[in-house]
Structure 1
Amino acid sequence: MNISVQYSHITVNDTDASLAFYRDALGFDVHNDVGSGGQRWVTLGSDVQPGLEIVLSEPYAGRSQSDGDALQVLLTKGVLPLINLATDDLDGLFEKVRAAGAEVLQEPIEQPWGPRDCAFRDPSGNTVRISQARA
């Protein structure tokens, strides 16, 4: 029996601004852009990991009013789980994302536990860490 991760959800306030960040700055491809009942879900992926997609959606997409309200509070506080990405060119990707105007939380540094990494906030305030394994 095999099991794998298929979707990872990221809650965002502005789907279009977040799409520009994840697609244009980070380089993910849009796989699907679906609207229903005034809500929208966008899935993005990479040829490097076929079958794994990031889903961008706003707090109320597919949720009750009270659940959306609770999620919006957490998103506004910036305390939702972060996303960790990996690259083979940390410096190049860092410069591309910084040039796109993303808020830099940490410039690339060597971590004592192994990787070299950096961190940004996406347009909704989610933390995005990007790492590169040591050679």
Structure 2
Amino acid sequence: MTIALQYCHITVNDPDEALAFYRDGLGLEVLNDVASGDYRWITLGSTTQPGPEIVLSEPHAGRSQADGDALQELLTKGVLPMTVFRTDDLDATFERVRASGAEVLQEPIDQPWGPRDCAFRDPSGNMVRISQAPKA
């Protein structure tokens, strides 16, 4: 028996703004863009790590009004869980994401626990960290 991560959901206010960040800034590839009524789900993946996919959707997409409202409140507060990406060239990745207009939270630094990393906020306020393994 095997088990592997298939989807990770990121809640966003505006799928088009989020798409510009995740596709153009981070360089992820759009795998699927599905509309259902007033909402849509955009699935992205990485050519360097096939398999796991990120799904962007709005707080009320596929949820009850009460659940969507609660999720919207958490998104507005900026307290939803962060997403951490891995790269083999943090400085180049940082410059690419910064050039996309993303809000910089932390420039690249060496962390005391090993990796070198940086942090941004996506257009909806989600924290996105990008990490590079320590050099051996």
TM-score (norm 2): 0.98
Aligned to 1:83: 83
Q: Give the counterpart letter for 1:7 in structure 2.
A: Y
Is the counterpart of residue 26 in structure 1 residue 31 in structure 2? no
The residue number in structure 1 matching 2:115 is: 115
Task: Give CA deviations for 1:92-126 in whole Å, capped at 9, x if unaligned.
Answer: 01011111111000000000111000000000000
Runs of 4+ aligned residues of structure 1 deviating over 2 Å after TM superposition are none
Amino acid at match of 1:88: D
Cα shift at 1:51: 1.4
RMSD: 0.5
> In structure 2, what is the equivalent of residue 39 of structure 1?
39
1:49, distance to aligned residue in structure 2 (A): 1.4
Could you say which residue in structure 2 is the equivalent of 1:59?
59
**What letter matches 1:55 in structure 2?**
V
Query: Percent sequence identity over matched residues?
Result: 75
The residue identity in structure 1 corresponding to 2:132 is Q
Aligned residue number for residue 134 of structure 1: 134
1:102, 1:23 → 2: CA distance?
12
The answer to whether structure 1 residue 93 and structure 2 residue 97 are counterparts is no
Question: How many pairs are equivalent?
Answer: 135
Question: Please, which runs of 5 or more residues in structure 2 have no aligned partner?
Answer: none
Residue equivalent to 2:9 = 9
* CA distance in structure 1 between the aligned counterparts of 2:4 and 2:114, rounded to whole angstroms: 25
Where 1:56 maps in the other structure, the secondary structure is: strand
User: 1 CA distance for matches of 2:36 and 2:97?
Assistant: 31
